[in-house]
Amino acid sequence: MSLKYEHLLSPLKVGNVIFKNRLLAAPSRPHFVQGPESYPAEALITSYANKARNGAALVTVKNIGLPPIFEDPDAQLPPPPDVNVFNPGRKTHMGGRHNPPLFNMDNGHTQNYLSMLTETIHFYGGLASAQLDVMVPRKWDVSRVPPHETFGAGQVNKMGEPIPAEMLDQIADEYANHAYRAKELGFDAAYIYMPYRGLLLGRFLSPLTNKRNDQFGGSLENRARFPLMVADRIRRKCGKDFILEACMSGVEPPGGFTLEDSIQFAKLFSGHFDLLQLRAGEIDPSHPAGFNLERTPFLYMAEAIKKSGADIKVVTVGGYLDLDISEDVIASGKADFVSMARAWICNPELGRLAYEGRNEDVVPCLRCNACHVSSYFKPWNSTCSVNPAYGFEHKIERMIAPPTDKKKMAVIGGGPAGMEAALVAASRGHKVTLYEKKADLGGLFKTFENVSFKWPHKDFKNYLVRQVSKAGVNIRLNTEATPEMIKIEGYDAVLVAIGAEPVVPPIPGINGQNVFYAKNVFGHEDALNENVVIVGGGAVGVETGMHLAEKGHQVTVLEMTDMLARDATPIHYYSLFRSAWEKLVNFHYIINARVDGIAGDKVTYVGADGQNQSIKAGSVIIAAGMTAKSDQALQFYGTGDRFFMIGDCKTAGDVQMATRSAFGAASSL
């Protein structure tokens, strides 16, 4: 066989249903790709269908259901205050409480669009799965994921009244009704969501939330009784060829069930569920970030279930992207399927790359989780830091016209924006020369080489460097481009990506010999004093402080607002970020501290109480943000027939803004 990933791409028969390979698409969808339509619009259909087109054997669809069968007396109560701690001036989270809408399978108009969605998935040889949940009145023992997961586990778990046993019988029937309606609309499977103790079935499994003293509480077998009842009702109504996938936490926090308990659950589920997907014990850690040094931190759970001999197909999820790793998972028998969410977002061609054996061309995920919502300071758009076409999938072909002729192009600056622009331009057939004043490519990303938790950024930088070299771009290192030099070359287009420079706040003493800027610290840590004070507690300041703390420095971050890293990704990331800095015993911070002077080995500031205070600082690091080098970039206007400013030299921002601006500019040529 010539396939490099013959195990990962091998079909598997589950009952009478054939999965074309072992790659699954976990439930995920762009939050803001469509408006308030009560049906899946073309944009959302395209997003799901592209996963099947890209190679996913099974695609799980979220936000579909039926009207509640129980009247909720609290349903008309006003919602709780929608306080946005990141940006108090912005009153709502993620565009409001009804984004995205729940698609009602009982509505005739919605049925038509859901049927088109499943048929489009089938067109590409994929199976369609529906994530199901039955809504019950809030007074019963149920909980909901809050509108934004930001702190702690990112999950609100409140104890309510135990649901009466006779109501459970109705709920089990309603799950079956949900599944049957989904089957009528073309779905091949149902995804039964039970992790984190957040929704109904998961709360039955966990001793942390199941306090019942009847046949549905107490022992492990009793706690599994209701989920098994639900599975059996679905099976009875939908038939044995309708696939059922159970998703649950593999290990819970102290007091919850253990991995050994999960093995017993898996054995109980055998014959009732077809697939078992295992996640972390809390919702935010299930979306591992760079703070997890292990690339696939939850594989051990799947492996334990497989070794136990439980007669159920096991799905591993969380951090999968690398095709070599995924192949080993299947080949070694540690799991039967690999499920991914972010990998399909980063890589519109992941499946093709797998079939062609091109792991080196897989775009690394930054694990920033900005695909949920990158910031509460930006417009509501679905974006990916490394896939600039994400969110435009349904119209990207209409947005980009084919090139009319081959152009001679210059890209000035070898950071992420410059490399992205060079790659896109080269892929469109243009002759590209990339100028970089330093000895190697990477820009600011080079500063992350030795930062432990920035390994995803290092992977992405290495990927870009590798791709630029393969694309046939003429790379001129150690060459600081000047307008005169570029004009002489006679370029058809010039794209300037010279980046940004640190903001210099008007603080007395800021020019002292012991004052440094964050971007210049990395690689020169030994030149700093043991005691370091960082002025600015945004994400960059905190990350710099964490890195120095790991290197043995005593670090104190001074932040003028009441919150550290306010500009960090709020959803499924901030709590992981905070947990990482809280583990560092030599990392300290003071909030509501407005710095007003640097003198010798002291930094003075006005504290929350309005009093003047000071702190000892052998070295002071300024992390007050970046400002675009727009004036320098503008000097290149007129050096070519077309002129573009891209990346941070246009607007100082993040990786996503840099890559999208580069992609947009290069795609227009």
Backbone angles phi, psi at 254, to 5 degrees: -50, 135
Using CA atoms, how far apart are residues 409 and 430, in angstroms rounded to an integer? 7
pLDDT at 567: 93
Q: By the 8 A CB rule, do 637 and 408 touch?
A: no
CB atoms within 10 A of CB 526: 7
pLDDT digits (tens, 9 = 90+) for 302-340: 999 999 999 999 999 999 999 999 999 999 999 999 999
Using CA atoms, how far apart are residues 598 and 513, in angstroms rounded to an integer? 11
Which residue type sits at 599?
Answer: A
Backbone angles phi, psi at 425, to 5 degrees: -60, -45
pLDDT at 69: 82
- Whether cis (ω within 30° of 0) applies to the bond prior to 505 is no
pLDDT digits (tens, 9 = 90+) for 142-178: 655 444 444 445 555 566 778 889 999 999 999 999 9
CB atoms within 10 A of CB 439: 7
Percent above pLDDT 90 for the chain? 82
At the second CATH level, the architecture of 515-624 is 3-Layer(bba) Sandwich (3.50)
Q: DSSP class of residue 616?
A: E
DSSP string covering 103-115, please? EETTSHHHHHHHH
Contacts of 547 (CB under 8 A, 6+ apart): 451, 452, 521, 522, 525
Query: Average pLDDT of 559-584?
Result: 94
Using CA atoms, how far apart are residues 228 and 468, in angstroms rounded to an integer? 53
Contacts of 424 (CB under 8 A, 6+ apart): 662, 663, 666, 667
Q: How far is CA 211 from CA 9, 171, 200, 247, 646, in A?
A: 44, 19, 13, 22, 57
- pLDDT band (50, 70, 90) for residue 375: confident
pLDDT digits (tens, 9 = 90+) for 101-129: 789 999 988 999 999 999 999 999 999 99
Between 29-38, 577-586, 640-649, the lowest mean confidence (pLDDT) is in 29-38
At the second CATH level, the architecture of 400-501+628-667 is 3-Layer(aba) Sandwich (3.40)
Output 236 or 91, whichever has higher pLDDT. Answer: 236
Dump strand ranges (E) for 171-238: 189-193
Q: Which of 315, 187, 172 is nearest to 234 (CA)?
A: 172
pLDDT at 151: 46
- Does the pLDDT of residue 89 top 90, yes or no? no
- Does the pLDDT of residue 373 top 90, yes or no? no
Packing angle of the helix pair 225-238, 165-184 (nearest 10 deg) = 40
Q: Which of 246, 201, 240 is nearest to 339 (CA)?
A: 246
Q: By the 8 A CB rule, do 544 and 529 touch?
A: no
Using CA atoms, how far apart are residues 399 and 407, in angstroms rounded to an integer? 20
Q: Which of 611, 595, 612 is nearest to 603 (CA)?
A: 595
Residue 135 tokens read as 């809504």
How many CA atoms are closer than 13 Å to the CA of 102, on its beta-carbon side? 13
Query: Average pLDDT of 240-255?
Result: 96
Query: Average pLDDT of 420-443?
Result: 97
At the second CATH level, the architecture of 12-356 is Alpha-Beta Barrel (3.20)
Query: Average pLDDT of 451-462?
Result: 97
How many CA atoms are closer than 13 Å to the CA of 629, on its beta-carbon side? 16
Domain residue limits, the chain: 12-356, 400-501+628-667, 515-624
Query: Average pLDDT of 648-668?
Result: 96
- Does the pLDDT of residue 214 top 70, yes or no? yes
Beta bridge partner(s), residue 60: 129
DSSP string covering 558-607, please? E-SSSSTTTTS-TTTTHHHHHHHHHT-TTEEEESS-EEEEEETTEEEEE-
Which residue type sits at 382?
Answer: S
* Average pLDDT of the chain to the nearest whole number: 92
Output 143 or 184, whichever has higher pLDDT. Answer: 184
Sheet holding 474-476, edge to edge: 474-476, 431-435, 408-412, 491-496, 640-645
pLDDT at 235: 97
Taking each continuous run of H as one helix and of E as one strand, the counts in the chain are 19, 27
pLDDT at 489: 96
Q: By the 8 A CB rule, do 101 and 37 touch?
A: yes
Q: Which of 558, 516, 510 is nearest to 537 (CA)?
A: 558
Using CA atoms, how far apart are residues 150 and 169, in angstroms rounded to an integer? 35
Which three-class secondary structure state does DSSP give residue 11?
coil
In terms of C-beta distances under 8 Å and separation of at least 24 residues, what long-range contacts does 213-222 make, across chains too? 214/165, 215/165, 216/165, 216/168, 217/162, 220/257, 220/261, 220/264, 220/265, 220/268, 221/268
Using CA atoms, how far apart are residues 656 and 29, in angstroms rounded to an integer? 18
Q: DSSP class of residue 435?
A: E
Percent above pLDDT 70 for the chain? 94
Give the predicted TM-score (pTM) of the model.
0.94
pLDDT digits (tens, 9 = 90+) for 484-497: 999 999 999 999 99
pLDDT digits (tens, 9 = 90+) for 335-359: 999 999 999 999 989 999 999 999 9
pLDDT at 35: 82
Cβ burial 126-153 (10 Å sphere, 16+ → b, else e): bbbbbbbbbbbbeebbbbeeebbbbeeb
Query: Average pLDDT of 25-50?
Result: 91
Query: Average pLDDT of 566-585?
Result: 93
- pLDDT band (50, 70, 90) for residue 414: very high
- pLDDT band (50, 70, 90) for residue 659: very high
